Amino acid sequence: VISISAGNHAQGVAFAARVLGIRATVVMPQTASPTKVEATRDYGAEVILHGDVAAAFQKLRQLEKERSLHFVHPFDDPKVVSGQATLGMELVEDLPDLDAVVAGIGGGGLISGVAWAVKELRPVARVFGVEPEGADTMFRSRKEGKPVHLEHTNTIADGLAAPFAGELNYRLVERYVDGLYRVSDDEILAAMKLLLERCKTVAEAAGAAGLAALVAGKLPLPPGSRVCCVISGGNVGAGQLASLLRPSA
């Protein structure tokens, strides 16, 4: 199999391939976090670092053809979305009186699965998606009325820097997601710091985006709402975390 990822889906694919005894190749942008690259290699996958996210997608398509590999899409795939939906199912099971769920958006796999499950099981709950200002593909897609591609993305939240919104993900977001919001990198950093200091939780930037929108007061939620922020990842190296959170940074 072959896939592409900033590093988290990569680890999932590498791990699953190892369990199944098959070979996995993952293309990642050259800027991929060393922690994620190392973990993916440790799970046994071949990692190819290539260009920026857009160039990495081209490389993936080339290798898929040349080596006749099966592409496991990081978000635009019904099975990936169904897997993400299990998170929504568990949330409603654990928190039956939930008022709202907030999650970050890259290509839209996570939010489309979570929103689908939550809205089907608890239609009164509201679902909000959050993107970095420098990678707001779904926000722009909703505005344009179709999934859009971005030429460049620019954010510290590498996990949310997909250069396009998935077709299936876009359709599900249009159907199930109540609002799309954008946060700055500074707002994301503030949420990472809050999680670290107050919750003793290490989140990577992509994982803290939902909380960033909440604490920045961007979400239309009445006081007292029972809100679940999905902290979707914590793959950040100690050195990277220290330099991100250093006061002068």
Question: Rule CB under 6 A: which residues touch ligand PLP?
Answer: 6, 8-9, 74-75, 104-111, 159-160, 162, 204, 206-207, 232-233
**Nearest distance from C-beta of residue 245 to ligand PLP, angstroms:** 17
**Nearest distance from C-beta of residue 223 to ligand PLP, angstroms:** 27
Closest to 138 (Cα-Cα) out of 116, 118, 110 = 110
List CB contacts of 195: < 8 A, sequence separation 6 or more: 201, 202, 203, 208, 211, 231
Of the two residues 64 and 204, which places its CB atom closer to ligand PLP in the complex?
204
Phi-psi region of 54 (alpha: psi -120 to 50; beta: other; left: phi over 0): alpha
Of the two residues 113 and 122, which places its CB atom closer to ligand PLP in the complex?
113
**Nearest distance from C-beta of residue 81 to ligand PLP, angstroms:** 9
Cα distance between residue 152 and residue 21, in whole Å: 36
Cα distance between residue 227 and residue 240, in whole Å: 29
Side chain identity, residue 157: A
3-state secondary structure 109-145: HHHHHHHHHHHHHCCCCEEEEEEEHHHCHHHHHHHHC
List CB contacts of 38: < 8 A, sequence separation 6 or more: none
Cα distance between residue 248 and residue 192, in whole Å: 15
**Nearest distance from C-beta of residue 79 to ligand PLP, angstroms:** 13
**Nearest distance from C-beta of residue 28 to ligand PLP, angstroms:** 11
Of the two residues 124 and 238, which places its CB atom closer to ligand PLP in the complex?
238
**Nearest distance from C-beta of residue 107 to ligand PLP, angstroms:** 4
